[in-house]
Amino acid sequence: MRNLQSTLSQYVMEKPWLKSYPPGVPETVGEPQYSSLAHFFEEMAARYRERPALSNLGRTLCYAELEELSRHFASFLNRRLGLERGERIAIMLPNVSQQPVALWGALRAGLIVVNTNPLYSARELEHQLQDSGAAALVMLENFVPAVAAALPRLKLKAIIISGLGDLLRFPRSYLINWYVRLFKTGNPGTHISEAVSFNTALQEGSRLSFERHDLKLEDVAFLQYTGGTTGIAKGAMLTHRNLLANVEQCTQWIVGGLPPERAMVKGEEVVITALPLYHIFALTVDLLCFTELGGLNYLITNPRDLQGLIKMLGKVHFSVITGVNTLFKGLLNTPGFDELDFSSLKFVISGGMPTEEAVANRWQQVTGCPITEGYGLTETSPVVAVNPPGLTEFNGSIGLPVPSTECSVRDDDGRPLPVGTAGELYVRGPQVMKGYWNSPDETDNVMTPDGWLRTGDIARMDENGFFYIVDRKKDMILVSGFNVYPNELEAVLSTHPAVRECAAIGVPDDKTGETVKVFIVRKDESLDADTVRRYCRMNLAAYKVPKYIEFHDELPKSAVGKILRRELRKLT
């Protein structure tokens, strides 16, 4: 045991990744400068008061307007609804300006925000609101049917409903709300009589006094629910300290790591936010980090409308865009994207799923700006590692641990493994969650007594400290005792010119224990199973070649475009 501790201590002290750090990035970040996220926002709103903060559906709000609206909302929550510090409020909004107003207002009211996917079914919504004990819900009227179906089994004190155009100027606000109510609402006959309108909440709040709360860094700021890939979704308790630390880690990496010709200028950057803000990636990187940098967030309400997104991009001199592989691939495959002006583009970051080399190479060819790939988890607020922003070539790595972050590759017994050997990735740092909400056993399953988080990801580290994700531990396929990693198989298949998208899973097999099954969306309808197998045999060992091949028109994805293997397993 003593030898194990000595080996681990030496490994942690060496931190081989530090030798690969960009020159302008510090090894550590200090104690947060702010006592809470509310304090952070108020300071940033004062610093960038007249600068534009949000743009959505044709209206731009400056930081002063965002501060005022969120203050009114906070006053309504505390004074009118009587919500007290530490109570939970679910925010079920897509990327509209109401989302940051509600989010900052809730945090300033001393509440814990439960970020909720607007596309949840009544069953999923019921679980999350019951588990979190949410006292209030802020939602878009488009999603009333799901809420109404779950409502009898919920214990909500209040529901606040917004129309899509509520924060727009008249008459545009009226016309958009009228159109949505007439043509887009799932069931226009469904309503919630006891609900309060979002604009009414703002108006009433403007007449009430604002109460500042003495929030602490260790207070929980968000209950961020995991995707539930291993069972029922769990709420990761992310504290004010967790988020503030990760914001500092990320901004130091971006500001210190970019080359001079792509340097960030505070108060001048324009960020395209196509990923939903209720997802931890966009919440931290797009909203929080670029609030610290005084950026303008263009909120994309419907990122699936790629033609509409490209039309909007043609009108904006944007400097930053975040996304996932499927978004970048979709843009590249949409007519008109390659005709945009990318002269102002400084930084592109990808996470949530592996970036395909072919996508990364084509993106750089078209835009002139490389995709910087990173890695994170809901439980780590989320960023753990990022590639140096100055890299100009795709390397297949998730990058280097960000400042004040330790990473360790270990075997099944928790022992550190040598450089180049694959094992489970452990993470420790100030961004690691407090634990799972009301789930001490689940917390103990993933966190060690000395603060390490077991990620469940299989990784390896090279001699320069760069980490590579081999695959999810739970997704690994065991064929006759040989490990088959779906990511490797998918990477090979994605290079076939007739394959648009693909995913691989393991299925039971009498002879080999498990065998490989792949799901493919074709670019060319002439592609058949025999061609796929021949291609795999050319590039993979025999035991990795899929036994079962299915062709589909589309694959199930999460809100941020990540292919959901768990949904594919239900099809077998």
Mean pLDDT value of segment 361-386: 97
Written as six digits, the tokens of 553 are 């028109």
Which pLDDT band holds residue 190 (cuts at 50, 70, 90)?
Answer: low
CB 289 within 8 A of CB 347: no
**3-state DSSP call for residue 270?**
strand
In-domain check, residue 381: no
In-domain check, residue 260: no
CATH code for the domain of 556 = 3.30.300.30
Give CA–CA dist 211/221, Å, rounded: 17
Bridge-based pairing of strands 296-299 and 435-436 is unpaired
Helical (H) or strand (E) element with 507? strand 499-509
In-domain check, residue 152: yes
pLDDT of 123 reads 82
User: Number of folded domains in the chain?
Assistant: 2
Which pLDDT band holds residue 479 (cuts at 50, 70, 90)?
Answer: confident
In-domain check, residue 111: yes
Nearest alpha-carbon partner for 316 in 58, 110, 142, 498: 58
pLDDT of 487 reads 87
**CB burial readout 11-30, b (16+ within 10 A) else e:** beeebebeeebbeebeeebe
Q: What is the DSSP string of 54-121?
A: EEETTEEEEHHHHHHHHHHHHHIIIIIS---TT-EEEEE--SSTHHHHHHHHHHHTTPEEEE--TT--
Domain boundary among 203, 225, 247: 225
Angstrom CA distances, 466 to 104, 398, 402, 544, stand at 36, 7, 11, 26
pLDDT of 542 reads 84
The torsion region of residue 333 among left (phi > 0), alpha (psi -120 to 50) and beta comes to alpha
Hey, CA dihedral for 503, 467, 437, 196, is it positive or negative? negative
pLDDT of 1 reads 41
pLDDT of 186 reads 58
Which pLDDT band holds residue 365 (cuts at 50, 70, 90)?
Answer: very high
pLDDT of 227 reads 55
| Tens digits of residue pLDDT in 227-252 | 543 456 899 999 999 999 999 999 99
Which range of residues forms the domain containing residue 136?
37-50+60-225
| Tens digits of residue pLDDT in 395-417 | 999 999 999 999 999 999 999 99
In-domain check, residue 159: yes
CATH code for the domain of 166 = 3.40.50.980
pTM of the model: 0.89
In-domain check, residue 557: yes
Domain boundary among 177, 193, 225: 225
Angstrom CA distances, 103 to 16, 114, 229, 323, stand at 39, 10, 26, 21
Domain boundary among 191, 225, 259: 225
% of the chain surpassing 70 pLDDT: 96
Q: With helix as H, strand as E and coil as C, how does 235-268 read? A: EEEEEHHHHHHHHHHHHHHHHHHCCHHHCCCCCC
Mean pLDDT value of segment 521-528: 96
CB 325 within 8 A of CB 462: no
Which pLDDT band holds residue 188 (cuts at 50, 70, 90)?
Answer: low
Kindly report whether the peptide bond that precedes residue 171 is cis, defined as omega within 30 degrees of 0.
Answer: yes
| Tens digits of residue pLDDT in 137-146 | 999 999 998 8
| Tens digits of residue pLDDT in 34-92 | 999 999 999 999 999 999 999 999 999 999 999 999 999 999 999 999 999 999 999 99
Which pLDDT band holds residue 334 (cuts at 50, 70, 90)?
Answer: very high
- Is the pLDDT at 13 greater than 90, yes or no? no
In-domain check, residue 411: no
pLDDT of 119 reads 84
Which pLDDT band holds residue 559 (cuts at 50, 70, 90)?
Answer: confident
Q: Which residue has the tokens 């990318």?
A: 342
Neighbours of 524 (CB within 10 A): 11
CB 372 within 8 A of CB 349: yes
Mean pLDDT value of segment 199-217: 97
- Is the pLDDT at 2 greater than 50, yes or no? no
Amino acid 343 reads S
Mean pLDDT value of segment 265-290: 97
Q: List the single range of 236-240, 288-292, 509-513 with lowest mean pLDDT.
A: 509-513
| First vs last C-alpha separation in the chain | 44
Taking CA 459 as the corner, what is the angle to CA 458 and CA 463, rounded to the nearest 5 degrees? 160
Nearest alpha-carbon partner for 282 in 100, 33, 60: 100
In-domain check, residue 314: no
In sequence order, which residues have a C-beta less than 8 Å from that of residue 490 and are 6 or more positions away? 502, 503, 504, 518
Burial of 530 (0-12, 13-18, 19+ CB in 10 A): exposed
The larger pLDDT score, comparing residue 509 to residue 106, is at 106
Strand partners, 549: 518
Helical (H) or strand (E) element with 360? helix 357-367
